[in-house]
Structure 1
Amino acid sequence: MGKRKGTPAEPADSSDREEPSPRKKTAKSKATGRPVSENPYVKDNWTIHPPTLLHRDFDSQQSSKIAAFDLDDTLVKLKSSSNWPVDANDFKLFNKRVPAKLKEILDEGYKIVIFSNQGSIKQALEGKASEKARGRADNIMAELGIPAHVFYATANDKIEDDLFRKPRPGMWDLLVREHLGGKAPDLKKCYYVGDAAGRPNDFADSDRKFAEAIGIKFMVPEDVFGESDSKKSMKAPAGGPNLNQAMSDAFNELASLQERSGGNPFGVRATKKVADIIAGFPQQITSSSMVKSVAGVGKSSLAKVEEFLSTGKLAALEEAGIKVGPSAGDDASASAAVQFL
């Protein structure tokens, strides 16, 4: 990766900070032309990089070998039944083997780095969402008990040209340029581990593409730690009734729409699988938390389940003029969907 040329950055709005430090020249992304950082400063041991980056070095060791990890659904999972962390203590380990495996990786001479998208923070780098996310990382690192460097990309997916949000390699670029103690990474000995691999059950493929953009090996959490302690399968008895007909119909229609629109084949298969899971679920689904821990139901699918439970429909189908549930005229489906409103 070539060194980017530094250019003067525009002054940032410092109304929320006292006595900002002098401006530094900052590198720009060749892909987007956006600055890598704008006047970084330190707060509560975290380095704040406006507009969309946070990081903290928890005494990580320097090495040309980088073992990099995603955070959620890779090192930890949510402890609560919510779809997103409810507070700074809302986490549990992916499985019991994680701490020992990370210490083994350290003993092999690797620098451990965590790269995580945290889009709920957006550009409010000192806001409540940021405070919760930073506190949560502090608590996770305390439980893991290992030295590591944590990077948060804080833009959401609506900011298409953000430099740092995975799968763009901006977080890696900053690590290499400023936080390896002058060492060059040995890409053949570096790797990245994440759950967004584009598999049929995955919500995205951004982790795999992140590793590809860097040029390093990619693995999923199960390759490194084994199976998660919390994922489970739930099936209705063979030949049993579909207790969630309207919802499963909606997901089947969504899969068909994705297929007709030339969608990602992985995504189409994932949606079809979720439709089957919903159809075979042994209870009427009244909360997304009921299927949160079911193997095959990822973050994106959980959001759609929540959407259907709240509205009785899926916006993507409505926009395409496809009616399901009450508006489709099926009395049985209508009755089921109304219970979700």
Structure 2
Amino acid sequence: MSISTSDIKDGYKDAILLPKWKAFQTIIFLECDVGLDDSKKIAAFDFDGCLARTSVKRVGADAWSVMYPSKPEKLQNFYNDGYKLVIFTNESDIERWKNKRQVAVDSKLGRLENFIKLVKVAIQVFIACGLSHGVPEDPFRKPKPGMWIIMEKEFNSGLPVDTNQSFCVGDAAGRPDHHSDADIKFAQAIGLKFYVPEEYFINLD
């Protein structure tokens, strides 16, 4: 799995992406935020239900809120400790909303950009747009590790990730009240320590 310059697009199918965002196959990504440093230590996060509280009933760049008040401080601490912060998030609406794809793209990218502005720390972002029931299965949609493989191989300055120092935080942990187990299985496929959001953030609130 590799990327050439010709593989990278400025839009996702018929949707135009915001500046700095690019597309590769079924991924939309923010490769290099201002101040982002590649690292062997990766702090990986889901977005919806982990970093931000969102609703499937609302769309728009401002239709979200921070899950825990401690989150900006915690993320800034990780950054200062030499971690590269990376968001890996699934967003099948971008693929499913064929007649409103631009709306879905603007909503997701706008929320992510506004979150990054709020926490005041550089974050790399990968969005898997493939469908959960696709045939064949999309290699980038969590729990598949494709987004991680692309990040480490193509967008980390050739630095191999130290999985012993890296970790993953997500809300989809397969518990009875959870919508799926995609995040924990994503972490397991890579070999990362896994935590649910309250384990990492609530103790600072």
What TM-score comes out, normalization by structure 2 length? 0.86
1:119 aligns with 2:92: yes
1:222 touches 1:228 (CA, 8 Å); kept in 2?
A: no
Q: Secondary structure at the match of 1:218?
A: strand
Aligned to 1:222: 198
CA deviation map 1:291-333 (0-9, x unaligned): xxxxxxxxxxxxxxxxxxxxxxxxxxxxxxxxxxxxxxxxxxx
1:139 partner amino acid: N
CA deviation map 1:109-156 (0-9, x unaligned): 100000000010017696321122112211111111110101100012
CA distance in 2, matches of 1:209, 1:48: 25
Q: Which has the higher helix share?
A: 1
Shift in Å, 1:173: 0.3
CA distance in 2, matches of 1:58, 1:76: 19
Change (3 A) 1:192 1:84: farther
Aligned residues: 193
Aligned to 2:169: 193
1:53 aligns with 2:27: yes
Q: Which has the higher strand share?
A: 2
Aligned to 1:90: 63
Aligned to 2:124: 149
Q: Secondary structure at the match of 1:189?
A: coil
CA distance in 1, matches of 2:125, 2:88: 6
Which structure 2 segments of 5+ residues have no match?
A: 11-16
1:170 aligns with 2:139: no
1:61 touches 1:148 (CA, 8 Å); kept in 2?
A: no
Shift in Å, 1:67: 0.3
CA deviation map 1:35-89 (0-9, x unaligned): xxx8212342101113x110003232211000000001111102xxx53442110
Shift in Å, 1:24: 4.1
CA deviation map 1:149-192 (0-9, x unaligned): 01100012121510100000000000001111111100111111
1:62 aligns with 2:35: no
Q: Which has the larger radius of gyration?
A: 1
CA distance in 2, matches of 1:219, 1:41: 34
1:131 partner amino acid: D
Which structure 1 segments of 5+ residues have no match?
A: 7-22, 26-37, 230-341
1:62 partner amino acid: D
If asked which structure has higher relative contact order (CA below 8 Å, sep 6+), I would say 2
CA distance in 2, matches of 1:83, 1:228: 28
CA distance in 2, matches of 1:206, 1:54: 19
CA distance in 2, matches of 1:121, 1:168: 18
- Taking the TM superposition and a 5 Å limit, the aligned residue runs for 1:62-81 are 62-78=38-54
Change (3 A) 1:227 1:89: farther
CA distance in 2, matches of 1:162, 1:228: 37
Aligned to 2:14: none
Aligned to 2:104: 129
Change (3 A) 1:175 1:85: farther
Q: Secondary structure at the match of 1:212?
A: helix
1:165 partner amino acid: R
